[in-house]
Amino acid sequence: MKPKIASILTRHLLMMILTGCCLACNKFLDVTPTDQIPDEGVWADTRTADLFLNNVYSGLPGPFNTFDPVENFTDNAMNGVNGQPSRVLYANSVYTASNTPNNWAQYANIRKANLFIEKVTASALDETWKKLRLAEARFLRAYYYQLLWTYHGGVPIITNTLNQNTQGENIFRPRNTDEETYKFIVDECAAIAPDLPLKAEAGRVSRVAALTLKGWCELFHASPLKNPSNEKVRWEAAAATNKQVIDLGSHSLFPDYETMFYEGNNNNQEVIFAKQYLGGTALGAGREGLQGPWIVGGVQRAYGGVDPTQELVDEYAMANGLPISDPQSGYDLQKPYVNREKRFYQSIIYDGSTWLGSEMVMKQGVGSRNATDLSNTNEATNTGYYLRKGLDPKYAVNGNHMLSSANFIIFRYAEVLLSYAEARNEASGPDASVYEAVNKVRARSELPALKAGLSQAQMRVAIQRERRVELAFEEKRWYDLIRLKAAEKNLNGTLHGIRIDQVGGKWVYTVIAAPDGSRTFYPEKNYLFPIPQSALNQNTKLTQNPNY
């Protein structure tokens, strides 16, 4: 069955699972209301137990439904509206233990997973069903621990439900080490993979999803942040797991990069794992009206929660496959949007492009309300660009933008190919399998194969560029900047945009510092987020991350 966010949640189940939306199938709407089922009854029927597990799924990240996603905290984008956290607080890394993003709330999801595991293990439900659902719950728990690990480092590993009334102060645990936390996650993924189907029902966890999570954590573990001595064995482990996913042959690249993210292509052959959305409700994806340009017609200016930066735009290759920095590429700053690769046009709204039937004009001095906001006052784009990727034009942005049910893709096959290529290149250099993996991703966008004979360092640059462009606006860039220890370079300084002025009867394109585009990153502390002060106050056995 496909878990979907249900619009109806009964009181008894709500109390059991704390708060939040519940994922549910329509077929569940005709079962006995859960407010008429005693607690033990929930665990006596697979249908009601599934409702509980669906709620554990509901904690998966859903960055479509926000005006200020993680991408705005990177060098790929900035928020076009004043006063947003990414511009006021986190741009200059002034967050503290008292105002840090509350990723610690993942423990609420972990507690629900632990409760499900305990209750189902002790139940008399069908053993085949139990084996599958327990593996799903363990995956979700591992996934939530992965979020804690990548943000905070080592955290307390709790695999049972806690009750202060019966356990007293024993519910408070010290932090496990970074290595212990990592090992718990990857060991869980390895243990549950055989119990999961190669291809799961849409929205549920598959064996491939478990191995992909394992391979992602191994890649993070092998990268400079966690592996300063560059132990090759770590890269080998990441390469092996990602190659295992590739060799399973269960997934392939979706032919059209642009429409892959539309609701009509939910759960296509490239999607390994995704958060499911229910369109037509207040719980829809909402990306069209929150992150892309809205109110584009008439004299109204467009607003956008995600404005791509010049730094990202410059990473898109020319149609001939060469980076714009290559003298042979044919790039011309005064014709910057001519002959670029397909993903540029599928991802970025730029001056002269069309969106929802309107030409988007970012030029200065022509009365356009969408001209680059040099004064940083009118909330048009601060960079001269708007987000295009993943926005389905069939949804009118100035209408009910929550209608879309486009899922948020957490893992897809292209990422596995690029993760394998990176790990194999770092482990042993750019062999034929590295070229094959990267070129498969490039070929979809009609880019030529990489030039033969690249050194390991040259291939590293090519892979990182490919990863940045291919996975832009998919909540990957922040983690890549952190694991590669690139944030201290890329998030220190000023982000840039484009200004277009008429000079001597010609339009002149000038790269400018984006208004309010200053970024500061303190490497001595910002590679980890602080433990929230509220958690430290509650649990005195916790220790804070360095320099907070």
pLDDT tens, 369-386?
777 777 776 678 889 999
Q: What is the pLDDT of residues 476-500, one digit of tens each?
A: 999 999 999 999 999 999 999 999 9
Pick 523 or 281 by higher pLDDT: 523
Tell me, what's the pLDDT at 431?
98
Q: What is the pLDDT of residues 66-88, one digit of tens each?
A: 778 899 999 999 988 777 777 77
**Mean pLDDT score, 417-434:** 99
Rounded Cα–Cα distance for residues 45 and 9 (Å): 17
E strands within 48-196?
77-78
73 and 479 Cβ atoms separated by less than 8 Å: no
Look at residue 55 and tell me whether its pLDDT is greater than 80: yes
Tell me, what's the pLDDT at 268?
98
Rounded Cα–Cα distance for residues 491 and 505 (Å): 37
Rounded Cα–Cα distance for residues 198 and 344 (Å): 34
pLDDT band at 13 (very low <50, low <70, confident <90, very high): very low
Pick 316 or 98 by higher pLDDT: 316
Q: What is the pLDDT of residues 168-223, one digit of tens each?
A: 999 999 999 999 999 999 999 999 999 999 999 999 999 999 999 999 999 999 99
List the one residue out of 315, 299, 311 whose CA is nearest residue 383: 311
List the one residue out of 408, 61, 425 whose CA is nearest residue 242: 425
- Token pair of 330 as six digits: 């044919």
Q: What is the pLDDT of residues 93-134, one digit of tens each?
A: 778 999 888 899 999 999 999 999 999 999 999 999 999 999
Q: Based on the number of CB atoms within 10 Å of its own CB, is 358 exposed (0-12), middle (13-18) or buried (19 or more)?
A: middle
Rounded Cα–Cα distance for residues 109 and 138 (Å): 11
Rounded Cα–Cα distance for residues 529 and 328 (Å): 43
Mean pLDDT for the chain overall:
88
List the one residue out of 476, 548, 486, 496 whose CA is nearest residue 521: 486
Tell me, what's the pLDDT at 499?
96
What is the SS3 assignment for 78? strand
95 and 101 Cβ atoms separated by less than 8 Å: yes
Look at residue 5 and tell me whether its pLDDT is greater than 50: no
List the one residue out of 15, 47, 17, 42 whose CA is nearest residue 31: 47
**Mean pLDDT score, 528-542:** 96
Q: Based on the number of CB atoms within 10 Å of its own CB, is 387 exposed (0-12), middle (13-18) or buried (19 or more)?
A: buried
404 and 285 Cβ atoms separated by less than 8 Å: yes
76 and 311 Cβ atoms separated by less than 8 Å: yes
Going from the N-terminus, what domains does the chain have, and what CATH number goes with each? 196-276+407-485 (1.25.40.900)
Provide the whole-model pTM: 0.91
DSSP 440-493: HHHHHTTPPPPPTT--HHHHHHHHHHHHHHHTTTSS-HHHHHHHTT-HHHHTSE
Q: What is the pLDDT of residues 245-301, one digit of tens each?
A: 999 999 999 999 999 999 899 999 999 999 998 766 655 666 776 787 765 554 445
Look at residue 526 and tell me whether its pLDDT is greater than 80: yes
Pick 25 or 153 by higher pLDDT: 153
| % of the chain beyond a pLDDT of 70 | 87
- Token pair of 148 as six digits: 């804690």
Tell me, what's the pLDDT at 295?
55
Rounded Cα–Cα distance for residues 278 and 284 (Å): 5
Rg (CA), the chain: 24
- Bridge-based pairing of strands 4-6 and 506-519 is unpaired
Mean pLDDT lowest among 28-42, 303-317, 364-378, 471-485: 28-42
**Mean pLDDT score, 518-531:** 95
| % of the chain beyond a pLDDT of 90 | 72
C-alpha to C-alpha distances, 471 to 284, 311, 478, nearest whole angstrom: 22, 15, 11
Q: Based on the number of CB atoms within 10 Å of its own CB, is 289 exposed (0-12), middle (13-18) or buried (19 or more)?
A: buried
The listed range with the strongest mean pLDDT (23-32, 35-44, 157-166) is: 157-166
- Token pair of 59 as six digits: 């904690």
**Mean pLDDT score, 514-532:** 94
Q: Name the one residue in this structure whose structure tokens are 């060991």.
A: 187
E strands within 350-456?
354-355, 358-359, 386-387, 408-412
Pick 87 or 333 by higher pLDDT: 333
